[in-house]
Amino acid sequence: AQKITQTQPGMFVQEKEAVTLDCTYDTSDPSYGLFWYKQPSSGEMIFLIYQGSYDQQNATEGRYSLNFQKARKSANLVISASQLGDSAMYFCAMREFPSGNTPLVFGKGTRLSVIA
Amino acid sequence: NAGVTQTPKFQVLKTGQSMTLQCAQDMNHEYMSWYRQDPGMGLRLIHYSVGAGITDQGEVPNGYNVSRSTTEDFPLRLLSAAPSQTSVYFCASTATGQIANGAYEQYFGPGTRLTVT
C-alpha cells in the first residue's frame, strides 16, 4: 500500500499568490515525521520543512508552512507569495520512528509552475 | 564539509556491463541510503544502511548490491546493467539521534544520471 499520496501531478499558480500542495500519508505508527523537499530543474533535492507527529503546532519556515491535520493524515504544504523561482517538483515524504531510524518514503511528487 | 558527494555525475553503460556508483559523506552520519528517480515515480528506495557493516533492502533492490565497510562510504554496484536501470540515482545520509529541531533531515547528493543502452 502506498504510504505517501500526492494527488496533484501538476499545479499552476499566479506569481504572488498562495498555493497548497496536497499530501496524505498512511501509517499505524504513532511516532513519525513528515518532510517536504523541492527539486528544481537543476535536479538537486532541497529540504524545505519538517513536521513531527507529536508537534503541537504546524511547522513554518519562511514562506513555507505545513498544514498538519493528524486525524485526516494529511500534511499539505502551503507556499505563500509564490515566486517564479518556486517552479519545481515538490515531494512529500515520511519517516516512521518505531525504534531509531527507518527509511524515508516519498510520494510521486507535484510539479508546480508559477506564472508571471 | 563537502556534505554528500556522488561520482560520477553522468554515465553511459552497455547492457551487461557492471559499474559502481560512489557515495561518500563527511558528516559522520550513521544512516545512508540509495534512491532511484524515474519520471512520474518519485524517489524509490533501493538499499539503505543504518551503520557500518549493516545494510538492508528497500523497495526496488533487484539488480543492485551495496556494502558499508566505513561510516563515510556507501557504494552502489550494478552487476549486469539493464536498460530498466536507466535512471537518476541519489545517495542520501541522515544523522541518527537528535539534530537541529529533531528533524532527522536527510541530506542528498547531487545525483548520478545513468543511461543503459
Task: For B61-89, write each residue's pLDDT tens digit.
Answer: 999 999 999 999 999 999 999 999 999 99
Cβ contacts (< 8 Å) between B55 and chain A: which residues? none
In this structure, the dihedral spanned by the alpha carbons of residues A50, A9, A1 and B68, taken in order and rounded to 10 degrees, is: -60
Q: Is 80 exceeded by the pLDDT of residue B95?
A: no
pLDDT at B36: 97
How many CA atoms lie within 13 Å of A91's alpha carbon, on the beta-carbon side? 24
* Straight-line distance from the first to the last Cα atom of chain A, in angstroms, rounded to the nearest whole number: 39
The proportion of chain A whose per-residue pLDDT surpasses 70, expressed as a percent, equals 95
Task: Enter the C-alpha cell of residue B88.
Answer: 537518476
Name which of A52, A100, A109 is nearest B102 (Cβ-Cβ): A52
pLDDT at A101: 63
- Range from A6-10, A23-27, A96-100 carrying the lowest mean pLDDT: A96-100
Size of interface A-B (CB pairs under 8 A): 56
Burial zone of A82 (CB within 10 Å; 0-12 exposed, 13-18 middle, 19+ buried): buried
Q: Is 50 exceeded by the pLDDT of residue A95?
A: yes
pLDDT at B39: 84
Q: What DSSP element (H or E) covers B106?
A: strand B106-108
Residue B50: CB atoms within 10 Å:
19
pLDDT at B23: 98
Separation CA A38–CA A77 (nearest Å): 11
Q: Flag if A95 and B104 touch (Cβ within 8 Å).
A: yes
What is the average per-residue pLDDT within A53-72?
94
Per the CB < 8 A criterion, the answer to whether B73 and B49 are in contact is no
pLDDT at B100: 41
What is the average per-residue pLDDT within A84-97?
94
Q: Flag if B96 and A100 touch (Cβ within 8 Å).
A: yes
Per the CB < 8 A criterion, the answer to whether A93 and A34 are in contact is yes
Q: Which residues contact A114 (CB under 8 A, 6 or more apart)?
A: A12, A13, A14, A15, A82, A83, A84, A85, A86, A87
Q: Is 70 exceeded by the pLDDT of residue A14?
A: yes
Per the CB < 8 A criterion, the answer to whether A19 and A13 are in contact is yes
Burial zone of B33 (CB within 10 Å; 0-12 exposed, 13-18 middle, 19+ buried): buried
Task: For B49-61, write each residue's pLDDT tens digit.
Answer: 988 999 999 999 9
